[in-house]
Amino acid sequence: MVDNHSHNESLPRYTISELNESIGLLLARGFAPIFSLHGTVSKAQIKKGHLWVTLTDGNSRIDGVVWSSRVKSLKFLPKNDDGVLVVGKLNFWESQARISVQIFDIRASISTVLKQFEIVKSKLMREGLLDQSLRKKLPQYPKSIGILTSVPSSALADILRTAKERWPLTKLYVIPISVQGNNQKEIMLILSKLKSSNKLGLNALVIARGGGSREDLMLFDNESLAREIATFPIPIVTGIGHEDDLTIVDLVSDHSSATPTAAIVDLLPSRDIALGNILESKKRMKEYLDWFFKNKNNSLSEKKKNFSISFPFDDN
């Protein structure tokens, strides 16, 4: 017969607090301090400034939190059913023996980005905002252009260098914007001010952002921003991401270029081509004038000859 009393006396004995503390120490020693996690958001809500989410892979789930001090710096705020990639660490709440993920950063997965792109594209297409007949013609010789991009950035440096080489007569007004994250309201505010009062006399706008992942370009799939651009009174040229990237803003702009540098090339005339055209016109004008005066000289000679025949000079 087993003596349960003596057996229990030999077992380690904990209080609830001691047990939970030991579990916390095991997790801290045995688990990666920072990790990435793929999942789908089944629930997301802001409470007292903190973002609380429930993440799932279809079979299991875990809660996560972004503390209020980090929420404002997030470039993406997830909604229910969004696929996400989070970077965080384990939080173990000793008082409740509950585990959650403390999230440092959260980004949309590529599937979420493409899903959002298709949803907005279909909506704008049904409303006719993607109709090519709505696109405004680009100015042939713009006197001034607004450049909306990040400052400083390699995209801006390339634009300024190319513009100087290509057509230095055009004035460029650089308007700094943040080109990543939840900054559509900032860009829309700038566009609204330019729409209501174009004191700079801009003939066109360039919205530019250099390369990055497709997920980083999600800002430019925003429906409200796309509507603002589609109804803007002067032509807007986009140069966003890499050559094979396509965003909603590209679809509603008056001209979509493959890169930021291509945007300024597509918008500005080339002084080399213009000089070549001038020299060619000068050559043709000279050839025409040579022909004109030669033709007039021949005509005068012919008339003089005919005049002499009609009134021959008589020596007698």
Domain assignment of residue 286, yes or no = no
pTM of the model: 0.78
Domain CATH number, residue 45: 2.40.50.140
**Is the model more confident about 228 or about 1?**
228
Write down the pLDDT at residue 8.
65
d(CA 42, CA 65): 13
What is the per-residue DSSP string for 5-27?
Answer: HHHHHTS----HHHHHHHHHHHH
Contact criterion met (CB below 8 Å) for 203 and 234: yes
Token pair listed for 7: 């057996």
Phi, psi of 57 (to 5 degrees): -115, 15
Domain residues for the domain of 76 are 4-108
- Same domain for 157 and 36, yes or no, is no
Total domain count for the chain?
A: 2
- Same domain for 145 and 207, yes or no, is yes
- Same domain for 99 and 140, yes or no, is no
- Same domain for 220 and 150, yes or no, is yes
Domain assignment of residue 56, yes or no = yes
Q: Which of 254, 41, 220 is nearest to 121 (CA)?
A: 220
Domain assignment of residue 252, yes or no = yes
* Residue 107, beta-bridge partner list: 85
Domain assignment of residue 227, yes or no = yes
Token pair listed for 132: 């090519």
**Is the model more confident about 310 or about 171?**
171
**Can you state the angle between helices 223-230 and 110-126, rounded to 10 degrees?**
40
Write down the pLDDT at residue 42.
95
- Same domain for 122 and 247, yes or no, is yes
Domain assignment of residue 133, yes or no = yes
Domain assignment of residue 277, yes or no = no
Mean pLDDT of 140-168: 95
d(CA 87, CA 55): 13
* Domain termination residue (choose one: 108, 129, 152): 108
Write down the pLDDT at residue 5.
54
Contact criterion met (CB below 8 Å) for 202 and 190: no
Buried b (16+ CB within 10 A) or exposed e, 284-300: eeeeeeeeeeeeeeeee
d(CA 185, CA 19): 49
- Same domain for 91 and 198, yes or no, is no
Domain assignment of residue 211, yes or no = yes
Domain assignment of residue 300, yes or no = no
Write down the pLDDT at residue 316.
52
Contact criterion met (CB below 8 Å) for 69 and 63: no
Domain CATH number, residue 240: 3.40.50.2300
* Domain termination residue (choose one: 246, 267, 288): 267
- Same domain for 203 and 119, yes or no, is yes
What is the tens place of the pLDDT at every residue in 37-60?
A: 999 999 999 999 999 999 999 999
Write the DSSP symbol of residue 55: E
- Same domain for 93 and 124, yes or no, is no
Write down the pLDDT at residue 232.
96
Residue with tokens 């997030």: 74
Q: What is the number of alpha carbons within 13 Å of residue 209 lying toward its C-beta?
A: 22
List, in order, residues 6 or more apart from 251 with CB less than 8 Å away: 121, 124, 130, 226
Contact criterion met (CB below 8 Å) for 229 and 177: no
- Same domain for 169 and 252, yes or no, is yes
- Same domain for 122 and 224, yes or no, is yes
Q: Which of 73, 88, 77 is nearest to 38 (CA)?
A: 88
Contact criterion met (CB below 8 Å) for 263 and 206: yes
**How are beta strands 171-176 and 236-240 bridged, if at all?**
unpaired
Percentage of residues of the chain with pLDDT beyond 90? 67
List, in order, residues 6 or more apart from 211 with CB less than 8 Å away: 241, 242
Query: SS3 of 96, please?
Result: coil
**How are beta strands 35-47 and 50-56 bridged, if at all?**
antiparallel
What is the tens place of the pLDDT at every residue in 235-289?
A: 999 999 888 899 999 999 999 999 999 999 999 999 888 777 777 788 788 888 8
User: The dihedral of CA 168, 170, 171, 174: what is its sign?
Assistant: negative
- Same domain for 198 and 86, yes or no, is no
* Domain termination residue (choose one: 81, 108, 135): 108
- Same domain for 123 and 184, yes or no, is yes
